[in-house]
A and B are shown apart, each in its own frame.
Chain A
Protein backbone atom coordinates (compact mmCIF):
# COMPACT_ATOMS: atom_id res chain seq x y z
CA UNK A 1 0.00 0.00 0.00
CA UNK A 2 1.37 3.40 -1.01
CA UNK A 3 0.21 6.56 0.77
CA UNK A 4 0.22 9.46 -1.64
CA UNK A 5 -0.82 13.03 -0.74
CA UNK A 6 -3.33 14.38 -3.26
CA UNK A 7 -1.03 17.29 -4.08
CA UNK A 8 1.79 14.93 -5.04
CA UNK A 9 -0.63 12.79 -7.05
CA UNK A 10 -1.50 15.92 -9.06
CA UNK A 11 2.19 16.86 -9.36
CA UNK A 12 2.99 13.41 -10.82
CA UNK A 13 0.13 13.59 -13.35
CA UNK A 14 1.06 17.14 -14.30
CA UNK A 15 4.73 16.24 -14.87
CA UNK A 16 3.73 13.21 -16.95
CA UNK A 17 1.34 15.24 -19.11
CA UNK A 18 3.86 18.03 -19.61
CA UNK A 19 6.42 15.48 -20.80
CA UNK A 20 4.32 14.38 -23.78
CA UNK A 21 5.04 13.14 -26.39
CA UNK A 22 7.95 11.61 -24.44
CA UNK A 23 7.80 9.49 -21.34
CA UNK A 24 8.27 11.48 -18.14
CA UNK A 25 9.82 10.31 -14.89
CA UNK A 26 10.65 11.32 -11.35
CA UNK A 27 11.51 10.08 -7.89
CA UNK A 28 9.48 9.81 -4.71
CA UNK A 29 10.82 10.82 -1.31
CA UNK A 30 9.28 9.37 1.81
CA UNK A 31 9.59 6.66 4.42
CA UNK A 32 9.95 2.96 3.72
CA UNK A 33 8.48 1.91 7.07
CA UNK A 34 5.12 3.56 6.47
CA UNK A 35 5.18 3.61 2.64
CA UNK A 36 4.33 7.30 2.79
CA UNK A 37 5.39 9.73 0.07
CA UNK A 38 6.21 13.23 1.30
CA UNK A 39 7.95 14.74 -1.68
CA UNK A 40 7.95 14.40 -5.46
CA UNK A 41 11.11 15.02 -7.46
CA UNK A 42 10.22 15.45 -11.14
CA UNK A 43 13.33 14.64 -13.17
CA UNK A 44 14.44 14.91 -16.76
CA UNK A 45 14.11 11.84 -18.95
CA UNK A 46 17.61 11.81 -20.44
CA UNK A 47 16.54 9.09 -22.87
CA UNK A 48 14.17 11.73 -24.36
CA UNK A 49 11.96 9.01 -25.78
CA UNK A 50 8.28 8.06 -26.01
CA UNK A 51 9.26 4.45 -25.42
CA UNK A 52 11.84 4.43 -22.64
CA UNK A 53 13.05 6.59 -19.78
CA UNK A 54 16.24 7.15 -17.81
CA UNK A 55 16.17 9.35 -14.74
CA UNK A 56 18.81 12.07 -15.04
CA UNK A 57 21.59 10.66 -12.79
CA UNK A 58 22.63 14.06 -11.42
CA UNK A 59 19.03 14.95 -10.56
CA UNK A 60 18.83 11.59 -8.80
CA UNK A 61 21.90 12.52 -6.75
CA UNK A 62 20.36 15.90 -5.84
CA UNK A 63 17.02 14.29 -4.93
CA UNK A 64 18.78 11.68 -2.81
CA UNK A 65 20.67 14.38 -0.91
CA UNK A 66 17.57 16.52 -0.41
CA UNK A 67 15.58 13.53 0.84
CA UNK A 68 18.36 12.59 3.24
CA UNK A 69 18.64 16.18 4.53
CA UNK A 70 14.89 16.13 5.25
CA UNK A 71 15.02 12.79 7.08
CA UNK A 72 13.53 10.91 4.15
CA UNK A 73 14.73 8.40 1.59
CA UNK A 74 14.03 7.86 -2.08
CA UNK A 75 11.38 5.14 -1.82
CA UNK A 76 10.29 4.86 -5.42
CA UNK A 77 10.12 6.11 -8.95
CA UNK A 78 7.28 7.13 -11.24
CA UNK A 79 7.12 7.25 -15.00
CA UNK A 80 4.56 7.50 -17.74
CA UNK A 81 3.59 5.07 -20.45
CA UNK A 82 2.47 7.17 -23.35
CA UNK A 83 0.78 4.44 -25.39
CA UNK A 84 0.46 1.43 -23.11
CA UNK A 85 -1.36 0.56 -19.89
CA UNK A 86 -0.15 1.43 -16.38
CA UNK A 87 1.49 -1.95 -15.95
CA UNK A 88 5.25 -2.69 -15.77
CA UNK A 89 6.71 -3.65 -19.13
CA UNK A 90 9.44 -6.25 -19.54
CA UNK A 91 11.89 -3.32 -19.74
CA UNK A 92 10.56 -1.97 -16.44
CA UNK A 93 10.91 -5.33 -14.72
CA UNK A 94 14.38 -6.04 -16.09
CA UNK A 95 15.65 -2.65 -14.97
CA UNK A 96 13.87 -2.38 -11.62
CA UNK A 97 16.83 -1.75 -9.34
CA UNK A 98 15.39 -2.03 -5.87
CA UNK A 99 12.99 -4.58 -4.35
CA UNK A 100 12.19 -2.08 -1.59
CA UNK A 101 11.01 0.61 -4.01
CA UNK A 102 7.50 1.48 -5.11
CA UNK A 103 7.12 1.63 -8.89
CA UNK A 104 4.40 4.08 -9.87
CA UNK A 105 3.16 4.02 -13.46
CA UNK A 106 0.95 6.54 -15.18
CA UNK A 107 -0.76 5.55 -18.41
CA UNK A 108 -1.55 8.38 -20.78
CA UNK A 109 -3.13 6.05 -23.28
CA UNK A 110 -6.67 7.11 -22.42
CA UNK A 111 -8.22 10.60 -22.18
CA UNK A 112 -7.86 10.50 -18.37
CA UNK A 113 -4.48 9.46 -16.90
CA UNK A 114 -4.45 6.21 -14.92
CA UNK A 115 -2.01 5.86 -11.98
CA UNK A 116 -1.09 2.52 -10.42
CA UNK A 117 1.68 1.36 -8.10
CA UNK A 118 3.64 -1.90 -7.99
CA UNK A 119 6.37 -3.71 -6.13
CA UNK A 120 8.80 -5.60 -8.34
CA UNK A 121 10.73 -8.27 -6.46
CA UNK A 122 12.88 -10.85 -8.15
CA UNK A 123 11.13 -10.24 -11.45
CA UNK A 124 7.67 -10.74 -9.90
CA UNK A 125 5.14 -7.93 -10.22
CA UNK A 126 2.65 -7.24 -7.42
CA UNK A 127 0.22 -4.36 -7.65
CA UNK A 128 -0.35 -2.42 -4.43
CA UNK A 129 -3.20 -0.11 -3.54
CA UNK A 130 -2.66 3.63 -3.64
CA UNK A 131 -4.24 5.59 -0.80
CA UNK A 132 -4.72 9.25 -1.65
CA UNK A 133 -4.40 11.50 1.39
CA UNK A 134 -6.18 14.83 1.69
CA UNK A 135 -8.35 14.07 -1.31
Chain B
Protein backbone atom coordinates (compact mmCIF):
# COMPACT_ATOMS: atom_id res chain seq x y z
CA UNK B 1 0.00 0.00 0.00
CA UNK B 2 1.58 3.32 -1.02
CA UNK B 3 1.45 6.24 1.41
CA UNK B 4 2.62 9.82 1.04
CA UNK B 5 5.94 10.65 2.71
CA UNK B 6 6.77 14.32 3.25
CA UNK B 7 10.43 15.18 3.62
CA UNK B 8 12.15 18.21 5.17
CA UNK B 9 14.35 20.39 2.97
CA UNK B 10 17.56 18.90 4.38
CA UNK B 11 16.73 15.41 3.00
CA UNK B 12 15.39 16.39 -0.42
CA UNK B 13 18.87 16.32 -1.90
CA UNK B 14 18.62 12.51 -1.71
CA UNK B 15 15.33 12.34 -3.66
CA UNK B 16 16.01 14.68 -6.58
CA UNK B 17 14.59 17.65 -4.72
CA UNK B 18 11.11 16.21 -4.17
CA UNK B 19 9.26 17.43 -1.07
CA UNK B 20 6.95 14.43 -0.99
CA UNK B 21 6.73 11.04 -2.64
CA UNK B 22 4.66 7.88 -2.59
CA UNK B 23 6.30 4.86 -0.96
CA UNK B 24 4.89 1.37 -0.37
CA UNK B 25 4.77 -0.31 3.03
CA UNK B 26 2.42 -1.69 5.66
CA UNK B 27 4.31 -0.16 8.60
CA UNK B 28 6.38 3.01 9.08
CA UNK B 29 9.53 0.86 9.23
CA UNK B 30 8.72 -0.80 5.90
CA UNK B 31 8.05 2.53 4.25
CA UNK B 32 11.35 3.97 5.48
CA UNK B 33 13.18 0.83 4.37
CA UNK B 34 11.65 1.06 0.90
CA UNK B 35 12.38 4.78 0.77
CA UNK B 36 16.06 4.00 1.38
CA UNK B 37 16.06 1.15 -1.16
CA UNK B 38 14.65 3.42 -3.85
CA UNK B 39 16.88 6.35 -2.81
CA UNK B 40 20.20 5.01 -1.49
CA UNK B 41 21.22 8.46 -0.20
CA UNK B 42 18.47 8.17 2.40
CA UNK B 43 20.14 5.16 4.03
CA UNK B 44 20.96 5.94 7.65
CA UNK B 45 19.40 9.40 7.57
CA UNK B 46 16.26 8.55 9.56
CA UNK B 47 16.99 5.13 11.05
CA UNK B 48 20.50 4.16 12.18
CA UNK B 49 22.39 0.97 11.30
CA UNK B 50 20.85 -0.75 14.33
CA UNK B 51 17.35 -0.06 13.03
CA UNK B 52 16.64 2.63 15.65
CA UNK B 53 15.01 5.96 14.85
CA UNK B 54 17.64 8.70 15.05
CA UNK B 55 17.40 11.00 18.07
CA UNK B 56 17.17 14.28 16.16
CA UNK B 57 14.47 13.17 13.74
CA UNK B 58 10.73 13.23 14.43
CA UNK B 59 8.43 11.02 12.37
CA UNK B 60 4.68 11.56 12.35
CA UNK B 61 1.80 9.47 11.03
CA UNK B 62 -0.76 12.17 10.34
CA UNK B 63 -0.68 14.16 13.64
CA UNK B 64 0.92 11.51 15.83
CA UNK B 65 4.59 11.14 16.73
CA UNK B 66 5.48 7.48 16.17
CA UNK B 67 7.46 7.49 19.45
CA UNK B 68 4.04 7.61 21.14
CA UNK B 69 2.55 4.98 18.84
CA UNK B 70 4.25 1.70 18.04
CA UNK B 71 7.52 3.29 16.86
CA UNK B 72 8.69 1.84 13.52
CA UNK B 73 6.17 -1.00 13.82
CA UNK B 74 3.28 1.49 13.62
CA UNK B 75 0.79 0.09 11.10
CA UNK B 76 -0.44 2.28 8.28
CA UNK B 77 -3.86 2.71 6.71
CA UNK B 78 -4.79 3.93 3.27
CA UNK B 79 -4.53 7.73 3.09
CA UNK B 80 -2.05 8.06 5.96
CA UNK B 81 0.62 10.70 5.55
CA UNK B 82 4.09 10.28 7.05
CA UNK B 83 5.88 13.54 7.82
CA UNK B 84 9.57 13.59 8.70
CA UNK B 85 10.92 16.66 10.46
CA UNK B 86 14.23 17.48 12.12
CA UNK B 87 14.26 18.12 15.85
CA UNK B 88 15.18 21.81 16.17
CA UNK B 89 17.26 22.73 19.18
CA UNK B 90 20.27 24.71 20.34
CA UNK B 91 21.03 27.37 22.87
CA UNK B 92 23.35 30.07 24.01
CA UNK B 93 25.49 28.00 26.35
Contact = CB atoms under 8 A, between A and B. Distances in A.
B83 to A, nearest CB: 6
A64 B83 contact: yes
Nearest to A52: B91
Contacts of B19: 68, 73
A57 B10 CA distance: 17
Interface stretch (A6-14, A75-83, A122-130): A75-83
A27 B88 contact: yes
Contact of B91 (A32, A92, A99): A92
Give chain A's interface residue range (CB within 8 Å of chain B): 35 or more
A52 B10 contact: no
Classify the secondary structure of B's interface with A: mixed
Nearest to B85: A60
Given A74-B8, A97-B10, A97-B87, 7 more contacts: A57-B58, A60-B85, A89-B90, A95-B88, A97-B86, A98-B8, A100-B9
Interface of A: 23, 25, 27, 32, 47, 49, 51-55, 57-58, 60-61, 64, 68, 73-75, 77, 79-84, 88-89, 91-92, 95-101
Q: Shortest 5 CB-CB distances between A and B: which pairs?
A: A52-B91, A81-B92, A97-B86, A92-B90, A98-B10
